[in-house]
Amino acid sequence: MSSITVGILGATGYTGVELIKLLSNHPSATLSFVSSQTYSGKKMSEVFPELKYVCDDVLLSPEDAIKQTVDCVFSCLPHATSAGLCKPFIDKGIRVIDLSADFRIKDPKAYAQWYKTEHPYPQLLEKAVFGLPEHYRSAIAQASLLANPGCYSSSIMLPLIPLYKERASQLTGVIADSKSGVSGAGRSLKLSSLFVEAHENFAAYSIGRAHRHLAEIDQELSYACGKKVEITFSPHLAPINRGILSTIYINGQLSAEECLEIINRAYTNEPFIRVRDPGDLPSVRDVAYTNFCDIGVAGGGSGQPVIIVCTIDNLLKGASGQALQNMNIMFGFKETTALQ
Amino acid sequence: MSSITVGILGATGYTGVELIKLLSNHPSATLSFVSSQTYSGKKMSEVFPELKYVCDDVLLSPEDAIKQTVDCVFSCLPHATSAGLCKPFIDKGIRVIDLSADFRIKDPKAYAQWYKTEHPYPQLLEKAVFGLPEHYRSAIAQASLLANPGCYSSSIMLPLIPLYKERASQLTGVIADSKSGVSGAGRSLKLSSLFVEAHENFAAYSIGRAHRHLAEIDQELSYACGKKVEITFSPHLAPINRGILSTIYINGQLSAEECLEIINRAYTNEPFIRVRDPGDLPSVRDVAYTNFCDIGVAGGGSGQPVIIVCTIDNLLKGASGQALQNMNIMFGFKETTALQ
Amino acid sequence: MSSITVGILGATGYTGVELIKLLSNHPSATLSFVSSQTYSGKKMSEVFPELKYVCDDVLLSPEDAIKQTVDCVFSCLPHATSAGLCKPFIDKGIRVIDLSADFRIKDPKAYAQWYKTEHPYPQLLEKAVFGLPEHYRSAIAQASLLANPGCYSSSIMLPLIPLYKERASQLTGVIADSKSGVSGAGRSLKLSSLFVEAHENFAAYSIGRAHRHLAEIDQELSYACGKKVEITFSPHLAPINRGILSTIYINGQLSAEECLEIINRAYTNEPFIRVRDPGDLPSVRDVAYTNFCDIGVAGGGSGQPVIIVCTIDNLLKGASGQALQNMNIMFGFKETTALQ
Amino acid sequence: MSSITVGILGATGYTGVELIKLLSNHPSATLSFVSSQTYSGKKMSEVFPELKYVCDDVLLSPEDAIKQTVDCVFSCLPHATSAGLCKPFIDKGIRVIDLSADFRIKDPKAYAQWYKTEHPYPQLLEKAVFGLPEHYRSAIAQASLLANPGCYSSSIMLPLIPLYKERASQLTGVIADSKSGVSGAGRSLKLSSLFVEAHENFAAYSIGRAHRHLAEIDQELSYACGKKVEITFSPHLAPINRGILSTIYINGQLSAEECLEIINRAYTNEPFIRVRDPGDLPSVRDVAYTNFCDIGVAGGGSGQPVIIVCTIDNLLKGASGQALQNMNIMFGFKETTALQ
């Protein structure tokens, strides 16, 4: 395809801003509209002065946005709201990339259980493609509705899916101890997101089996191995703007060498997955402001768990970067366009 | 005892500064000398302007320091160096509180293995008392040589010792995923301690069975239950000045309720251990700049691990605060003096 | 006086928490009540888990608070609200220390102009004593209503008042370029106080002649020299929790040596003002978590301005610490009690 | 020109890494070599894992580097060292872009005075072009030796040069109060660059007329107006990785409106200079990770100084971004290539 037009719903959150920056460097995609409930009528660059000369478009209201016709719509809206605004575009046959959780869960009952609300369009769930490019590339190419994975989820699924595909029976007691930057909580006004509360602080929250991303993590790991998987997941809030580091414990019969070999083999030709040498571990700064996912393996031996460390930028490979990667696949562009 | 004199060896590291601040509020202890190899001849307040009017003493050289006579000496020197400078004081019958690792390990072979050097005075190891007040209070009261525990170790041992004492057979696959502030690395010039390297970063290091604090953690947990224990320990560097949060996974047959009950019972009357209500988890800011150790329990059920979250200030309950708590016990002062 | 009882209105902001911590170490003051509109009925330690074992009192509603009788009331409420809740205590003859701006400005017109509201009790303005202990100690000792100075203001007035007292005619074009930590903005939910907005950021705001603290700065400098003074003041938001550093330019005929000499002379016996040697400049960390105000002087010569650098902890010498210092003076306690 | 080859001397500092990232997106420039004294023989991506898949080149020693032939050499070496390694390339007729201070100062005596060493090649100083694209574009296009401006300097000269060009006689008492991120201090091991020293801290240093960047600031402002200019400059260290905000006071007869009009006019068509509306001030986050320079004007009136706030990313518009902008001009590429 030569060139496409795109729109962004809910453009004034952190993922919207990142998407706009990425798209401004894309040679074959033109931003046609941006919308916002809160800031409609203002220029994007008035709300975010960093975007002056980059995106000076006036934000549409949601009502005006749904009248627009483009080749591709990104939704950066929160879950529950997102499905409602994506629907009109889907109905018009416009391809939609939803960064919320609304189309990630195949089972409407699981959605209702984790997100505490009935799904408004359960019939769309089947149709949606889960947008993990390294594992669903051909389905993504055909997708009309794409569910972009969660940030924590991406950092956990990317290293684990190859292992569950090949050695599920040897994996037990899998624990993901994840640490995320504060931008993961979005730009809404919450006490725990205040600078003075988060700075010089470090906190665990929703640990064990409580965080919503478990819905998609369980789903995808179960799909990878064909049986029900439920891992332990402990999110933590780290005083950084962006980045996730997941430390994953595999209490199984696999050695570190086997794990590394399987992961390496799965991602040999992947442009955005960088697997480290044995014992070499990635840190958040290695991937910040990039679409890379870095994976290192250590531990194991003498009954000790194998330990996988996986890092991504939560706003890029964990959100907007992966969304653009999916757009590139869907529209036949080089997958790395505007992402390097 | 009415009043004592104390000296500090290696006073110009972060633990030395904290100790000086604490001692400046102690009604019954007078600081007699501070020493430093690097800064001898300078005033403490020249090296740390924050200490002006608090400690304007001139730093002695180590050579001059060992000629001093006081009631109690604190060593804030690095391991290997510390034992050498503590020895002359021990020989003079002066009570010594060593904040380094030099007297923590009972087995000289384990010391040599973990610290890559032969212990210079293995005969002193037996004599040294491990300074965890909540578990060795009566021995501490009699100690002439006190080994102050490590920072990571304190945050892991305090919640685990009561469990190992009572239910060791039900504890398997224990994992401590710990996050520490950068002051834990000391004030020496290392690339990884540079602001630009650590800020907006988060990193794992020495994970699995590689970090030296495992020597004392294994020793104390094994002692608590009377059999050999080896846990998994993954330290991480968090971009905060001070504080440790350890997330501990217990993959056993205990419920969260049982764990909480045991921990609660163990620490009912402890002034510095605050056990949270079920599901309520402490964060670093709750304990920063205090001698408190906060413990919360969550998880468990349906085959899921119980998860304990423990936080301390690495420079206080993890170092200088605990050292002063030990001094109070050793000299018969109220244990909380100058620590509240 | 042997011992007093105190209450805190609006105890759940950052200054309230600091005050509670300070009071918990005061041997002659007992906290009788804490109040909060938002959190009444909860324990202080539920709202701030860091205060467990320190202050487990249940927060009163403002309605219940005003029925209490104590020796001294601190108000940590925002301006406009504060005067209203202080009034009933003043009427009962209870001594009040107000940390808001409500009683700082002598001229009701100036108050109305800067704070965009008529003062509810203009007759009280005359009665209120401005609580800068180093300059109004004897009046403070007699005060029934004390107006505690603002944080920025303290960092600017403390170095400048001695100069205006002695050499006002030689001072022209005075500029205060101030940098404050985010706690200065309080604990309310504002976009600019969000972690992601403030972290890795640095911003100027309300610069020139726009910030409300100018009302009290102008008033006090004018009072010091007996003629009208209007300085330039540029506040900036720095990504730190606490601390203010003010860089003050004096474009006059004074030399750096003269300035330093005057400042030194003014503060020779002051326990909380530390004046540096020539050319030696304080930084925020030197005073963080203390009631100290550090002052250094540099620049000057060859037509260059003299440059004064002044640092305080905005929550202590800039708020709660100074408030407690004032309480100590008002009730005849040693001025440094619970502040060292 | 179709395509060029480039080399980077001293590639393992922060500016080298930024330059490599920028060049990796340049369609017409190919990185031929990178060199480092400290890390020669290692891959760039071993030293900086973030560069894996981006630059896996092996670092040459300086000795091997000077044997290379390329179209353009960037030097990211420290001053004094840089001139020595640039010289062989200059002699071979290779165009050199030096990011150090070695060729910025026209007057060898001024260089010797500020940098405390005789310049090794004073005859080259005349030949070097000062690389401020917005003011020396045509000379840059012809430059064989380009002196890239300092970071602080850029943030001060860009707003001030237009004013000095047009209204020098009305400018008096100019003060630049600048705040810089820690990356400005480079990647060398210094106590003041340690995380624990800089985090939660804010400090002034080398204030008044002490910082070396004054040499180039004075030179360029003097050149702009044809008479000797000496401004006041106070650098401060802010706890951020990158970014500079300069608050500039102009104590003259100009109004804020006039200043803004002059600056606006000077930069109307400049792609990287964004001038704000009256009273609207830029912050560091607006320009971080970009080559933009944002300028806002406020203050003035009633004898008050006009206040200019200027922000740049110290590693981009303040170093590597500006260097690439200069390369684009020198080799006839579109000036914004790889910079948007």
Q: How far is CA B27 from the centre of its chain?
A: 23
Q: Which residue has the tokens 């007869």?
A: D253
Task: Give the mean model confidence (pLDDT) for residues A197-217.
Answer: 96
What is the predicted pLDDT for the residue at A253? 86
**What local confidence, expressed as pLDDT, does residue B114 receive?**
97
What pLDDT, in 10s, does the model give residues D185-243? 999 999 999 999 999 999 999 998 999 999 999 999 999 999 999 999 999 999 999 99
Count chain A–chain C contacts defined by CB atoms under 8 A.
58
Q: Above 80 in pLDDT, residue A1?
A: no
Distance, CA of D146 to CA of D149 (rounded, Å): 9
3-state secondary structure (DSSP) of residue A286: helix
Residue D122 has pLDDT above 90, yes or no: yes
Mean of the per-residue pLDDT values for chain A?
97
pLDDT band at C302 (very low <50, low <70, confident <90, very high): confident
- For residue A296, what is the enclosing H or E element? strand A293-299
pLDDT at C1: 55
Mutation target to probe the C interface, by most C beta carbons within 10 A, among A38, A188, A190, A194 is A194
Residues in chain C with CB shorter than 8 Å from the CB of B286 are 49-50, 52
Listed in order, strand segments (DSSP E) in chain C are 4-9, 29-34, 72-75, 95-98, 129-130, 145-147, 175-180, 203-204, 232-237, 244-250, 273-275, 293-299, 306-312
pLDDT, tens digit (0-9, with 9 covering 90-100), for B241-258: 999 999 999 987 899 999
Per cent of chain D over pLDDT 70 is: 100
The arithmetic mean of pLDDT across residues B297-304, rounded, is 92
Q: What's the rounded mean pLDDT across residues A225-237?
A: 97
Asked if residue D109 has pLDDT above 90, the reply is yes
Percent of chain C with pLDDT over 70: 100
Whether D271 and chain A come into contact, CB under 8 Å, resolves to yes
Residues of A in contact with C237 (CB under 8 A): none
Which tens digit of pLDDT belongs to each residue from A53-95?
999 999 999 999 999 999 999 999 999 999 999 999 999 999 9
B neighbour chains, 3+ CB pairs within 8 Å:
A, C, D
Cα(D26)–Cα(D20) distance, integer angstroms: 10
Q: Does the active-site annotation cover B225?
A: no
What percentage of chain A has pLDDT greater than the value 90?
96
Tell me, yes or no, if D190 comes closer than 8 A to chain B by beta carbon.
yes
Between chains, do A196 and C193 touch, taking CB under 8 Å as contact?
yes
Beta bridge partners of C9: C75
Q: How confident is the model at residue A292 (pLDDT cuts 50, 70, 90)?
A: very high
Burial annotation A32-68 (CB, 10 A radius, 16+ → b, else e): bbbbbbebbeebbbbbbbbbbebbebebbebeebbeb
What is the pLDDT, as a whole number, of residue D252?
76
Asked if A43 is an interface residue toward chain C (Cβ–Cβ < 8 A), one would say: no
Q: What is the DSSP letter of A276?
A: P
Q: What is the pLDDT of residue C297?
A: 97
> Touching check for B240 and chain A: CB below 8 Å?
yes
Query: What mean pLDDT do residues C264-275 have?
Result: 98
Q: Give tens-digit pLDDT for B56-108.
A: 999 999 999 999 999 999 999 999 999 999 999 999 999 999 999 999 999 99
With contact defined as beta carbons under 8 Å apart, do D305 and D249 qualify? Answer: yes
Structure tokens at C191: 């976009």
Contact A246, A310 (CB under 8 A): yes
Q: Number of C:D CB contacts under 8 A? A: 143
Give me the residue from D50, D53, D274 closest to A52, CB to CB.
D274
User: For chain A, what percent of residues have pLDDT higher than 70?
Assistant: 100
Asked if the Cβ–Cβ distance from D189 to B194 is below 8 Å, we say: yes
Please tell me the total number of residues recorded for chain C in this structure.
Answer: 340
Tokens of B266: 């163990």
Rounded CA separation A169/D54 (Å): 37
CA–CA distance, A263 with A160 (Å, rounded to integer) = 8
Give me the catalytic one of D72, D151, D259, D310: D151
Residue D285, SS3 per DSSP: helix
Q: Does the global pTM surpass 0.80?
A: yes
For A237, name the nearest residue in chain C, comparing CA atoms only: C195
Chain C residues within 8 A of B317 when measuring between CB atoms: none
Catalytic residue among C55, C72, C86, C151: C151
Give the whole-angstrom CA distance, residue D282 versus residue D211. Answer: 24
* Neighboring chain C residues of D196 at a CB cutoff of 8 Å: none
Cα–Cα distance, C178 to C196 (Å, whole number): 22
Which tens digits make up the pLDDT trace of B209-243?
Answer: 999 999 999 999 999 999 999 999 999 999 999 99
Find, among B240, B334, B338, B321, the residue nearest to B18 by Cα: B321
Confidence (pLDDT) at C162: 98
**CA–CA separation, D208 vs C304, rounded Å?**
7
- Position D282 scores a pLDDT of 98
The per-residue pLDDT for B1 is 55
Report which of C302, C305, C257 is spatially closest to residue D251, judged by C-alpha positions.
C305
Is B243 near chain A, with CB under 8 Å?
Answer: yes
Q: Which amino acid is at D69?
A: T
B203 touches chain A (CB under 8 A): yes
Q: Helix %, strand %, coil % for chain D, to 5?
A: 35, 20, 40
